[in-house]
Chains A and B, each alone.
Chain A
Amino acid sequence: MANSFTRMMSGRHTAVILASIGAGTLASGYLLSDHVVAAAERTKLYPPSADFPDLRKHNNCMAAALTPTIYGHLRDKKTPNDWTLDQCIQTGVDNPGHPFIKTVGMVAGDEESYEVFAELFDPVIKDRHNGYDPRTMKHPTDLDASKITSGMFDERYVLSSRVRTGRSIRGLSLPPACSRSERREVERVAVTALSGLKGDLSGRYYSLGEMSDREQQQLIDDHLLFDKPVSPLLMAAGMARDWPDARGIWHNNEKNFLIWINEEDHTRIISMEKGGNMKKVFERFCRGLKQVEHLIQERGWEFMWNDRLGYVLTCPSNLGTGLRAGVHIRLPILSRDPRFKRILDNLRLQKRGTGGVDTASTGDTVDVSNLDRLGKSEVELVQLVIDGVNYLIECEKRLERGQDIKIPSPILQFRK
């Protein structure tokens, strides 16, 4: 009895445990030590080998990286918020993946997940981010929009421009793990900060659970409303729990700066507008982000960030900048050219349908954005998109005139 209590005393939640012992746990007949003893017994009965998931039919980054050895090292570890490896990988176990699309297959429950379970996260990150090694490399952050050149596209081709990223509030668990009170705290912190925005950024918040039918319809018509996740990738990671509690949308009066609260990440920040002025979109993006960061710092909060991983988000695929900068662009001739895919690949761009990820394009319009997230700064990635899109427009114009086009040489992956 004394031994198990002594072990508990060294934990970070000593005060809480002492309080809960006094608060009636004894009365229920189940002492905290019963639970500790039971847990120890179960660990003996079920060694890691008994729990190792069957990943033979799986095709995701987690399944490719997880070995019985790594699982054995990590299964009984916990982050300071008591988040476990099994909880990180559940989504990848439940969703074997697609033969052509390699999903990530794991999520973080808190900032510390990336450290405590580094033995698995690091190879997954390396796999997903084209060789970026968190053990040896540093990620550059640069939100100085003044460095952008040629950021105005030919609007006969580019219909709209958009930049999005995510930000997590340090000290609060991430969407797969957060309790209701943590999620509500994220909402409070974010909404309080956003209410301090002024000028072209001033706006208002719409709580998902409390918006009126009219507000809801308006948000749908403006294509701003997000809905409860239905993707099994997100559901299996526990991100839809307690919906719609503490979820909402904030947007400025001009509807070109938008924040989603407590969807897949604590916050998703979006700057967008019709037309081809990507530089302006990025400038507002950076300005808004900096102001929001300043506003939360005034109250003692900060974003999750470190120089290994950049901005820390729920899904490893969004680490680094978490940035997707893209355009809706009409390329009727080029998009049908057999060289289109190779050109995009070499420019480090990807195409999506105009409904976003996993949709098909309508007509000749396609969504083109950066492939990379980690290892290059925001400025670098946006410049890369600008240069790449300008190149695509040049190709389209040349094909219109009956001239030939060249496949550009591939862009280097990382600065050494």
Chain B
Amino acid sequence: MPFGNTHNNFKLNYKVEDEFPDLSKHNNHMAKILTKELYGKIRDRQTPSGYTLDDVIQTGVDNPGHPFIMTVGCVAGDEESYEVFKELLDPVISDRHGGYKPSDKHKTDLNFENLKGGDDLDPNYVLSSRVRTGRSIKGFTLPPHNSRGERRAIEKLSVEALTSLDGEFKGKYYPLKSMTDAEQEQLISDHFLFDKPVSPLLTCAGMARDWPDGRGIMHNDNKTFLVWVNEEDHLRVISMQPGGNMREVFKRFCVGLQKIEEIFKKHNHGFMWNEHLGYILTCPSNLGTGLRGGVHVKLPKLSTHAKFDEILTRLRLQKRGTGGVDTASVGGVFDISNADRLGSSEVAQVQLVVDGVKLMVEMEKKLEKGEAIDSMIPAQK
């Protein structure tokens, strides 16, 4: 809760042993890193907006995790969380992002011209292409912590920025709390509408408070550019279209983001970014680029090949079902996207998707002809 959670000072009356959470049955990044000693060392701290260690870890305490899936188990309440609680968050970031060190620098590259190719993915296989990321607005606390006043201010700024866009980005904002039934129906059938989070990972972090106050969706008239306001992050920006022209999708993504950023900067509320962590977002898993670029692609033969998962790992890609995270594939169609977020640039990550998918489509075609693909299996990227 914002405006100074000095309830934390009250807890300091109690011994560390009494306050330290029982993480013995837990399997998430936070639980692996947080020892009683570390807890004791940093529990008296607060960020300037009053976010505390207990706030950071509550979601990980309440959600012990899954034996096979390693969740992050902690969130940031504001930009300063990553600094004030670095003794916890740096190791979590390192674990989650392949050994990323506190001294490492993250490269941001949103120059779509640097992408090679990407406009020729075979539409007989690649059904749709999409790139998404998140952005946080400087000067406001993040969704786990922000007050109604802040959330509304974020919405107001965002609406101003988004509705001033023109050309292919011209569109309309639909606030969740006042959309008509007809608008809601349309947004649902376009697969644009987001709903109140039900995942306990999010609700335990306080991200669903005051729903649907201050939440909404903007999309352009062409329905190829979409922004979610105040869901899991301040902004989630999505560019997508049917077919395999990832180059066009990425171009629209980069251009749109730049235009939006300019408008926010004019109001002295640029995006949260630093050269170590890249774009600052609520969940440590989305630091860096916060980018997930992917396609829905038909790979019925390749997906049943013994080496499919290994090929994906080597290409630094991951598979999901066509319903998104934690869903199964339908009819041999997979959602294939980049696995990395931090430590490589946007261009590099989308390049991996473009090159990797192109290769996998060629493998699929080979398998259709009954030919072997062993010689095509790539080295680890």
Contact = CB atoms under 8 A, between A and B. Distances in A.
Given A16-B12, A83-B7, A179-B19, A30 B47 contact: yes
Nearest to B16: A181
B102 interface: no
Interface residues of B, number: 49
B276 interface: no
Given A46-B150, A50-B149, A86-B1, A179 B11 contact: yes
Nearest to B63: A243
B208 interface: yes
B265 interface: no
Contacts of B153: 46, 50
Contact of A38 (B14, B20, B48, B213): B48
Contact of B50 (A35, A51, A86, A184): A35
Interface in B247-299: none
B44 A23 contact: yes
Contact of B9 (A28, A29, A30, A82): A82
Given A82-B6, A90-B209, A94-B209, A30 B14 contact: no
A51 B61 contact: no
Given A35-B46, A35-B48, A243 B7 contact: no
Nearest to A188: B18
A42 B3 contact: yes
Contacts of B211: 94
Given A16-B9, A81-B10, A243 B213 contact: no
A180 B21 contact: yes
Given A13-B9, A35-B50, A242 B21 contact: yes
Contact of A241 (B50, B62, B148): B62
B233 to A, nearest CB: 20
B108 to A, nearest CB: 26
B45 A28 contact: yes
A53 B45 contact: no
Nearest to A21: B44
B120 interface: no
Interface string B34-49: 0000000110111111
A50 B148 contact: yes
A34 B149 CA distance: 21
B5 interface: yes
A245 B21 contact: yes
Contact of A243 (B4, B49, B62, B177): B62
15 contacts: A13-B9, A24-B44, A28-B42, A28-B45, A38-B48, A38-B50, A46-B153, A53-B210, A54-B177, A81-B7, A93-B209, A180-B18, A180-B20, A181-B15, A240-B62
Interface of B: 1-7, 9-15, 18-22, 41-42, 44-50, 54, 58, 61-62, 80, 83-84, 147-150, 152-153, 177, 203-204, 208-211, 213
